Homo-oligomer: A and B are copies of this chain.
Amino acid sequence: MGSNMNYESVMKLALERGFYFPSCEVYSDAQAGFWEYGPSGVGLKNKFLELWRRELIRRDGMLEIDGSQIMSKSVFEASGHLGNFADPIIRCTKCHSTFRADRTIAEITKIEIPESAELEEFDSAISQNNIKCPKCKGDFENTKNFNMMFRVGIGPEEEEAYLRPETCQSIFVDFPRLFKTMRGKLPLGIAQVGKSFRNEIAPRQSLLRLREFYQAEIEVFCNPAKLDEMDRFPEIQDTVIRVQTDSEPVPMTCKEAVKSGVIPNKFVAYYLGILTEFYEKTGIDITKSRFRKLGDKEKAFYAEVAFDFEVETTIGWLELVACNYRSDYDLSNHAKKSNEKFEVMDNDEKVLPHVFEISMGIDRSLYTILEHSLRDDREHDRIVLSLKPYLSPVNVGILSLVKKDGLKEKADEIFLNVKRKCDAFLDHSGAIGRRYRRLDEIGSPFAITIDHQTLEDQTVTIRKRDSMEQSRINISDLDSVISSSISFP
């Protein structure tokens, strides 16, 4: 039974079942592009990150750091963000509304101009196609660049600083200290999970284009002369990845991808392989994924080779991860600007490491997991969120059939025994069928019901989410149910 739900179904679930909802929604000055995770969303996110740590960070012996979100001006002068990280915007001379030039042109004329194009290209498309303000039909001013970083002022003198637009800059700036104190050896992966901030002109589609969003970024520092010396390559050489260089994604093993030259070296192929294995375990339908090789105009300004990991959803292909070979762009710029040494020793050779980046959008990944897991089970008149048990915000629901006759107390007692070990949800009230359906929607793989027989023989009914099968088990066997619900593959 495949997924048969769309963006609106996921949104309805998110709002009604505490996955996510708009920030500051009671106020009229709430700004677009800011969303909150509710309790179900926090549970899913934390477990997703635990899986990410297992499958990428610990598997590969990477280091994880957690740095400041506010960073100094120098960082973004060196990184190029102060100069380059801008959207082309157009402002109406009449009503003063502002739009993104590339999007407005594309919506009206279907002409796709990359956001990194020269400003004159937008201006001439606007005049040639006689494009007017969509709101008031007024004329546009010339296209300008709008820097997407949020500026903040530090201290009473308001020293210039910025909210980071990507988490990786602290990894680059901290690299010399981390390599030295943590006894680094190339290749070395350093990772960070956290918020990044981009002052988008047109945030939209809830978690898909946010102004404040979560990234999980990995920067792997390597010796560029050794990109085909990868001890761990055999671990993933037979893992199938789907690479699209032309019009269609083509499934191939990592080994084949390197041999045929589709992926430039074992080093890059290894990380695309472990990334694929990670996403398979999230429950995303991996046959709907692709690594799409980006053309020169599409790539970020710092990338030498770039593959976007994209997944097909009901609203099109979503970019979940950007995999960029950034070469020594970042370290050499920070070295120049700061006058600090960023070279390290690789055995007896002094190198300025190159960087391969795996930059994951957490919010979009969670949206995709939800969409791929949600189905409308019309036969049984229910919506089911078939999350992998280890990602489910609720591992087990504990329900008393009725509140009276000591069943509430028995359910409380069972709950007390399990609540610190897993995420259990205790529910005493409402029709049992409705309570089951609610647990199905939150993705709880199991429901346990305490009834009158429980008081006699210490058994409970266990109901499985996906099959709806019910059977009786001893209370003493609950621990094994819980471990199968929480243990990672």
Counting CB contacts under 8 A, is A36 at the interface? yes
14 A-B pairs, CB-CB below 8 angstroms?
A18-B178, A23-B67, A25-B174, A26-B334, A27-B75, A29-B74, A31-B154, A38-B177, A39-B65, A39-B182, A42-B64, A54-B420, A70-B211, A156-B201
CB distance from A211 to the nearest CB of B (A): 7
Counting CB contacts under 8 A, is A197 at the interface? yes
List A residues 424-449 near B (Cβ within 8 Å). 424, 426-427
Counting CB contacts under 8 A, is A155 at the interface? yes
On whether the beta carbons of A212 and B27 are closer than 8 Å, the reply is no
CB distance from A168 to the nearest CB of B (A): 13
On whether the beta carbons of B170 and A163 are closer than 8 Å, the reply is no
On whether the beta carbons of A41 and B66 are closer than 8 Å, the reply is yes
9 closest cross-chain pairs (CB), A and B: A36-B67, A23-B68, A26-B338, A37-B66, A27-B74, A34-B68, A39-B63, A98-B156, A26-B340
**Which of B63, B157, B201 makes the CB contact (< 8 A) with A155?**
B201
List A residues 386-435 near B (Cβ within 8 Å). 419-420, 423-424, 426-427
CB distance from A135 to the nearest CB of B (A): 14
On whether the beta carbons of B89 and A66 are closer than 8 Å, the reply is no
Known: A69-B195, A155-B98, A157-B98. A74 touches B212 (CB 8 A): no
List A residues 19-72 near B (Cβ within 8 Å). 21, 23-31, 34-39, 41-43, 45, 54-55, 58-59, 61, 63-72
CA A157 to CA B67, docked complex, whole Å: 29
On whether the beta carbons of A38 and B178 are closer than 8 Å, the reply is yes
Counting CB contacts under 8 A, is A181 at the interface? yes
Counting CB contacts under 8 A, is A159 at the interface? yes
CA A337 to CA B426, docked complex, whole Å: 35
CA A13 to CA B125, docked complex, whole Å: 60
Q: Number of A residues whose C-beta is below 8 Å from B?
A: 83
**Which of B21, B55, B159 makes the CB contact (< 8 A) with A177?**
B21
CA A159 to CA B32, docked complex, whole Å: 11
On whether the beta carbons of A70 and B212 are closer than 8 Å, the reply is yes
CB distance from A39 to the nearest CB of B (A): 4
A68-103 contact mask (Cβ, 8 Å, vs B): 1 or 0 = 111111110000000000000101000000100000
Counting CB contacts under 8 A, is A251 at the interface? no
Question: Which of A145-153, A240-248, A268-276, A369-377 makes up part of the contact surface?
Answer: A145-153
CA A341 to CA B170, docked complex, whole Å: 43
Contacts of A138 in B (CB 8 A): none
List A residues 269-291 near B (Cβ within 8 Å). none
Counting CB contacts under 8 A, is A298 at the interface? no
Contacts of A54 in B (CB 8 A): 420
Known: A98-B157, A153-B150, A157-B98. A36 touches B65 (CB 8 A): yes
Known: A66-B37, A66-B45, A338-B27. A163 touches B156 (CB 8 A): no
A168-192 contact mask (Cβ, 8 Å, vs B): 1 or 0 = 0010011011100111000000000
On whether the beta carbons of B24 and A71 are closer than 8 Å, the reply is yes
- Which of A18, A31, A61 counts the most B-chain CB atoms under 10 A from its CB? A31
